[in-house]
Structures are given as structure tokens and as C-alpha cells.
Amino acid sequence: MQLTKTEEELMNHLWRLDKAFMKDLLEAYPEPKPATTTVATLLKRMADKGFVSYTRFGNSREYFPLVKKKEYFSKQVNSLIKNFFNDSSSQFASFFTKETNLSKKELQELRAIIDSELQNK
């Protein structure tokens, strides 16, 4: 299951806050802030999709994520690799390193990450 761009933006605020009431989520947005009804609709859709839940405190709801950011991001990257790079991680890595204008330092950092993973396997 995937989130829309607006749902992802809200989810990022919720991941950062860990738990939040509606007022906390609205405060997390930059100006111009979305309408309360918009955020409520997004939260309902995200709850229906199984991404968030809430605890009731009287008339208020404290929302919390059901999916970890790393887990969601991992699924999105794997889906990207499958759908756009013929399920080939090496094609993805080649595209990523050539098309994203990485600096020499960033490429060296990637190499160090890969070398470390190779040693661990």
C-alpha cells in the first residue's frame, strides 16, 4: 500500500513527532497551513490504509504511526527498483550514481558503505 504525496508529508510530520494531536500536526506544517478538515481527511484515509491509529482522550485523538519510516521507505525503494529497473539493484545503483550529481566525497562514502556490507556477508 502506498501513500499519496500529501499523505507522505503528513506521515513525515507524524514520524518526526512520534505521537501527535491534531493541533500538533497543524503546527508542524509551514505557512500556509492546511485546513483542519483536510488534515482530518488525510488521517482518516491513512488510518483506513493501516498507516496510523489513534488513542482517544475525551473528544481528542492522539495519532501515532503504525508503520516505521524505514520500513515504508524500504518498500518504496524496492518497488522503484522492481518497476523502473527490471528488479535489478545494480541498474538502480548505476542510474543513481550517474544521474544524481554525487560529489566525489559522496561516492567515496557510498563505496565505504558497500565495502562494509561486503565484509559483513
CA–CA separation, 79 and 58 (whole Å): 40
CA–CA separation, 74 and 64 (whole Å): 20
Asked if 24 contacts 17 with a C-beta cutoff of 8 angstroms, the reply is yes
So what CATH class is 5-65? Answer: mainly alpha
User: For the whole model, what pTM was predicted?
Assistant: 0.78
In terms of Cβ atoms closer than 10 Å to its own Cβ (0-12, 13-18, 19+), residue 43 is buried
The pLDDT value given to residue 63:
98
**Per-residue pLDDT tens digits for 54-99:** 999 999 999 999 999 999 999 988 888 999 999 898 888 888 888 8
Intervals of CATH 1.10.10.10 along the chain: 5-65
CA–CA separation, 17 and 45 (whole Å): 19
pLDDT more than 70, % of the chain: 100
